[in-house]
Amino acid sequence: MDVPTLVVVRHAKADSPVGLQDIARPLADRGRADAAAAGRWLAQNVGGCDLLLTSPARRTEETTARLLDGWGRTPVVVDEERLYEASLGDMLRIVRGLDTERPDSTVVLVAHNPGASALVEALTGEVVQLRTGGIAVIEVAGEWADADTTSCTLSHQHTARAETGGED
């Protein structure tokens, strides 16, 4: 992509084992398959990636690993503590704090709802409800620090589902 691009990915479908803390929840079988499908979609529709920020939750880290396997990319991957239980304000601070030295970069955030969907809406003005495995690709016409509805456009929205399908 020729302009700065932000890809917001909601983690894939997680399991909910009894007694396990929220941060430790793993992906469900369907989630693992869907995350790889998301990676394949990104390979076909986004191309490269310079930086991937992921929440430290187990389900987002597992989504990231499967996503990158399907995508065939090895960007710099950073555990971003602020993405776990992030408010919209937290997410906006992360995006607006991205490196302006690389203005044409593609950055991926692997995060949780409601913050992920709220971020897409705050930046683009488009009402988006990211389902598990959901992807929003946002083009940023300007500096990361100035990202808002006047500079950001939702170019793609996709919900990755493996061939086995399944509902949220």
The model's pTM: 0.94
pLDDT band at residue 162 under the 50/70/90 scheme: confident
pLDDT band at residue 12 under the 50/70/90 scheme: very high
Cβ within 8 Å of residue 146, ≥6 positions away: 96
| Domain presence at residue 164 | no
Q: How many independent structural domains does the chain possess?
A: 1
| Domain presence at residue 113 | yes
Note the pLDDT tens digit of each residue in 26-40. 999 999 999 999 999
Which CATH number goes with the domain that contains 143?
3.40.50.1240
| Domain presence at residue 118 | yes
How distant, in Å, are the alpha carbons of 23, 60, 109, 135 from that of 14? 11, 9, 17, 16
| Domain presence at residue 36 | yes
Q: What per-residue confidence (pLDDT) applies to 47?
A: 87
| Domain presence at residue 145 | yes
| Domain presence at residue 50 | yes
| Domain presence at residue 47 | yes
Range of 54's domain? 5-14+24-159
Note the pLDDT tens digit of each residue in 51-110. 999 999 999 999 999 999 999 988 899 999 999 999 999 999 999 999 866 666 899 999
Note the pLDDT tens digit of each residue in 123-136. 999 999 999 999 99
Question: Does residue 8 carry a pLDDT above 60?
Answer: yes
Q: Which residue has the tokens 């940023």?
A: 140
How distant, in Å, are the alpha carbons of 32, 39, 58, 132, 148 from that of 161? 10, 11, 20, 9, 29
| Domain presence at residue 166 | no
